[in-house]
Amino acid sequence: MGDVLLDALLDSLKVFPFLFLLYVIIEFLEHRTNVTRHENLLKGNIAPLLGAATGLIPQCGFSVMAAKLYDKRLIRAGTLLAVFLATSDEALIILLSEGSKAFSVMPIVAIKFVVAVGAGYLCNAITRRERLAELPEGEEIHGNACGHDHDEEGDGKVRRYLVHPLLHSLEIFAYILVVNILFGILLYYVGDETLASFLQSGYWYQPLVAAAIGLIPNCASSVVITQTYVLGGLSFGGCVAGLCANAGLGFVILFKNTKKWKRNLVLAAVLFGIGVAVGYAVNGVMLAFGL
């Protein structure tokens, strides 16, 4: 058992430097991006395309921002859906940190982008009569990475570009370590062959389970989905299903508006349904081609 814990710790420590470096880069990007400056683009014909593109950036600040904009009726439902479907929270960062699964990044990005754009335009066409409001002059809407509220004016460069990324990296490292330990214990007591047989028997249930986990508005959900895929416990289709359904902390913002709970449940159901459908489609294609 000691070896299991040591292996889990060492495997987790290997990705920590890459996590930290990527979060430093994301902090630079986040503090130089203000989507609300392009308010007209957010309401125009390219809004779902723009939403999907921004959602692909590996941080959940854009899903938070999109939720705030939608709640103020500044963007359409399809644009919000495009951002949510494209968002992967911590997934891409973890995959890029894991050399063995880094090749999965481009297929996941491509699938999520196509699905996000398609669903966004379809939803906007269905809700084309949706009335939009105007952003008050001078007002800006920001979405902090993973919903952590930073005092941007009070933060110095060291705190902003070193302390915040370090704390965030340690948080994700802790999630990864827990998943690695649990998976290692499972392998220790069950055995490789038994576990592989069990996972294969549940191949067609994985998109449902992963999409349900993806709906949980917490960084941990994307970490669990991605790390389980990295360790071989989840199919590629299951991983895609979970990540399509994962909208970071976007739903936390939406569900704060309790008056719109029916609207919020419908959006969650649509996101879950699309995630499951895409997951099954991916698994079906991979099975057909023997992948």
pLDDT of residue 42: 65
Sheet strands (E) in the chain: none
* b (16+ CB within 10 A) / e for 223-239: bbbbbbbbbebbbbbbb
Q: DSSP state, 162?
A: I
pLDDT of residue 136: 54
Rounded mean pLDDT for each run of 10 residues along the chain, 291 residues in total: 73 72 67 53 78 79 80 86 87 78 88 95 85 57 49 60 78 74 71 59 82 81 84 88 87 85 92 95 88 71
- Strand, coil or helix: what is 196? helix
Task: State the Cα–Cα distance between residues 175 and 25, nearest whole angstrom.
Answer: 21
pLDDT of residue 11: 67
Residue recorded with tokens 């330990």: 181
Task: State the Cα–Cα distance between residues 23 and 196, nearest whole angstrom.
Answer: 34
pLDDT of residue 32: 55
pLDDT of residue 145: 45
pLDDT of residue 57: 78
Cβ atoms of 78 and 87 within 8 Å: the answer is no
- Strand, coil or helix: what is 279? helix
Cβ atoms of 246 and 221 within 8 Å: the answer is yes
Cβ atoms of 124 and 79 within 8 Å: the answer is yes
Residue type at 143 in one-letter notation: G
